[in-house]
Amino acid sequence: MSTELFSLQGKVALVTGATHGLGMAMAMGLGKAGATLVINGHSSQEKVDAALKEHRDAGITAHGYLFNVTDEQQVADAVEKIETEVGPIDILVNNAGIIRRTPMLEMELAEWENVIRTDLTGVFIMTKPVVSSMIKRGGGKVINICSMMSELGRNSVGAYAAAKGGLKMLTRNMATEWAKHNVQVNGIGPGYFATSQTAPIRVDGNPMNEFIISRTPAGRWGDPEDLQGATVFLSSRASDFVTGQIVYVDGGILATIGRPANES
What per-residue confidence (pLDDT) applies to 258? Answer: 75
pLDDT at 247 over 80: yes
Contacts of 124 (CB under 8 A, 6+ apart): 170
What are 19-62's pLDDT values in tens digits? 999 999 999 999 999 999 999 999 999 999 999 999 999 999 99
What per-residue confidence (pLDDT) applies to 8? Answer: 98
Query: Between the CA of residue 175 and those of 18, 97, 170, 221, 248, what are the distances in Å?
Result: 24, 21, 8, 31, 17
pLDDT at 262 over 80: no
What per-residue confidence (pLDDT) applies to 1? Answer: 52
What per-residue confidence (pLDDT) applies to 261? Answer: 58
Instruction: Find the distance separating the first CA and the last CA of the chain, reported in whole Å.
Output: 38
Q: Which domains does the chain have, with CATH numbers?
A: 3-255 (3.40.50.720)
Secondary structure, 3-state, the chain = CCHHHHCCCCCEEEECCCCCHHHHHHHHHHHHCCCEEEEEECCCHHHHHHHHHHHHHCCCCEEEEECCCCCHHHHHHHHHHHHHHCCCCCEEEECCCCCCCCCHHHCCHHHHHHHHHHHHHHHHHHHHHHHHHHHHHCCEEEEEECCHHHCCCCCCCHHHHHHHHHHHHHHHHHHHHHHHHCEEEEEEEECCECCCCCHHHCCCCCHHHHHHHHHCCCCCCECHHHHHHHHHHHHCHHHCCCCCCEEEECCCHHHCCCCCCCCC
62-66: strand order across its sheet: 62-66, 36-41, 12-15, 91-94, 140-145, 183-190, 246-249
pLDDT at 264 over 60: no
What are 104-156's pLDDT values in tens digits? 999 999 999 999 999 999 999 999 999 999 999 999 999 999 999 999 998 89
What per-residue confidence (pLDDT) applies to 196? Answer: 87
What are 183-235's pLDDT values in tens digits? 999 999 999 999 988 898 899 899 989 999 999 999 999 999 999 999 999 99
Q: What is the pTM of this model?
A: 0.96
Give the residue numbers annotated as catalytic, written as ranges: 160
pLDDT at 260 over 80: no
Query: Between the CA of residue 194 and those of 152, 200, 201, 214, 220, what are the distances in Å?
Result: 20, 10, 10, 15, 9
What are 168-180's pLDDT values in tens digits? 999 999 999 999 9
